[in-house]
Structure 1
Amino acid sequence: MSYDAHEFPPFAVTVDLVVLTLRDERLHVLLVQRGQWPHEGDWALPGGFTLAQEDIEDAAYRELAEEAGIGRDQVVLEQLRSYGAPGRDPRMRVVSVAWLALGEGLPLPSAGSDAAAARWVEVDEAVALPLAFDHGQILADGLERARSKLEYSTLATAFVQERFTVAELRTVYEAVWGTAVDPRNFHRKVTTAEDFLVETGERTTRGGGRPAMLYTRGPATQLHPAVLRPAQNIRPLSAS
C-alpha cells in the first residue's frame, strides 16, 4: 500500500519556553505579545514551530536567540513536559514540547519577527494574565518545577554570578519560592550540603555590612540533605 500524506490531517510540533530570571531580586518570566492570528495582541510564552529538519532542543535554543537574544551558554535548559490536547491551537493539531530555561542577568528582550513586543514580567503579574493558548498552564507547571527543584537540586546557582555569597543565593530561593527564608538556618543548610558550595577564600562587601565569604558552585547536582521550602507560618515576602 502506498503512503499518501493527504490522507492525514495537518500536524505540527512546537516549542514553548518558560524563561525565568531575577531582576531587582524579583522572579520574572519572559512574555511576548503576539503580533498575528491566533490570539493577536495577547501575551504568551516565547516559542514557535519546529522546522522540518530541526531537532526539538535546537528549536528551543533558536527561539531563545530570536525572541530574547539569549545564547546557549546563558541559560540552564531542561525539558518540562509535552502538551497535546486537541483544540489547543485553532490552526491545526499541534503538540508543544515545553522547556524551562533559567539564567542570571539575562538581557532585555527584543520582539521577534512574529511578535509585537517582548518584556520581562514579574511572575505574580504574569500568572494573573489571560495568556494565549494553554500558556497559563505551561507557566504554572514551569514555576512549580523550578520551585521544587530548588529543594533537591543545585539549580539555584543558575541564577547567581560565578562567585556569590550565601545571602545572594538566599535571595534566589526567596524570589523563586515567594517566601522569606530564615537566614541562619539557610546558611547552615547550604554550607553543609555535600559538594554544594565551595569557598573561594575571598570576601566581599557588595551586599553591605560585614565582609561575606564568596563561594562558587560545587560539583554536586543533587542536594544532600535537601533544602525544603519553609512551613506556611514563615512570613511572606513584602510586595514592596
Structure 2
Amino acid sequence: MERLAARLWRIIRGPLQWRLLWFWHAKFMVGVTGVVRDSEGHVLLLRHRMWPVDRQWGCPTGYADKGERFEDTVVREVEEETGLHVQVGPLIRLTSGYRLRVEVAYEAMLIGGDLTLDPVEILEARWFSPDSLPDGLQESHRLLIQQTARP
C-alpha cells in the first residue's frame, strides 16, 4: 500500500500535490509581537482596547497577512497602531501548539515617526523601563521583555 501511495504521489506532481497537502494539513493564524525599544532601552507598551480589562497592557501585536513576512508584520502593526517606525531585530520566540495559532516575537528598535494612536485598537501608549512595568501587562509579554532586557 505504501509503495502504491508513493508511486501515485510521484505521478500527480506539481499543483495537485500542493492542493492535497493544503487540504490535509492544519491551517494557522500567525500572531506577531514586537518588543520595541528606544535608544535608552525603554520598552513601548500599548493599552489595547480589545483585550481583557485586567490585562490590557502589552507590546504591539497583530496577525500576519497572507504571504507577509513576519518581520514586515511587526513594522506594519507598530506603524498602524502608533505611527512609529521600527527596525526589526532578532527573532526571540516561536511558539506553536495552540489550536489555530502560532505566535512569533521579534525585538525591534525605534527609528522614527510621530506617536499617533489608532483609537479603534489602542487606548494609550507609553514607554516603560524594563524594571518598572505596569500592572495589567500580559504575562507572556512581561517574560519577553525580561528575556530581552539589556544588562
| Other-structure match for 2:75 | 61
C-alpha displacement of 1:29: 1.1
- Written as runs of structure 1 = structure 2, the 5 A alignment for 1:1-240 is 3=20, 11-22=28-39, 27-37=41-51, 39-40=52-53, 42-71=56-85, 75-84=86-95, 86-87=97-98, 92-103=99-110, 107-111=114-118, 113-126=120-133, 129-132=135-138, 134-143=140-149, 147=150, 177=151
Aligned length: 133
Report the AA paired with residue 48 of structure 1.
G
- Conserved? CA contact 2:33–2:106, under 8 Å: yes
Structure 2 distance, partners of 1:98, 1:120, is 18
Question: TM-score, normalization: structure 2?
Answer: 0.68
Unaligned runs of 5+ in 2: 6-18
Aligned-CA RMSD value: 3.0
Unaligned runs of 5+ in 1: 148-176, 178-240
- Conserved? CA contact 1:43–1:131, under 8 Å: yes
Structure 2 distance, partners of 1:121, 1:109, is 18
Greater length-normalized contact order (CA 8 Å, ≥ 6 residues apart): 2
Residue-by-residue CA offset, 1:187-225 (whole Å, 9 max, x unaligned): xxxxxxxxxxxxxxxxxxxxxxxxxxxxxxxxxxxxxxx
Structure 1 distance, partners of 2:21, 2:57, is 38
- Conserved? CA contact 1:67–1:118, under 8 Å: no
Structure 2 distance, partners of 1:112, 1:10, is 31
Structure 2 distance, partners of 1:52, 1:17, is 18
- Conserved? CA contact 1:80–1:142, under 8 Å: no
1:107 to 1:125, Cα distance in 2 relative to 1, 3 A? farther
Question: TM-score, normalization: structure 1?
Answer: 0.46
Structure showing the higher strand proportion among its residues = 2
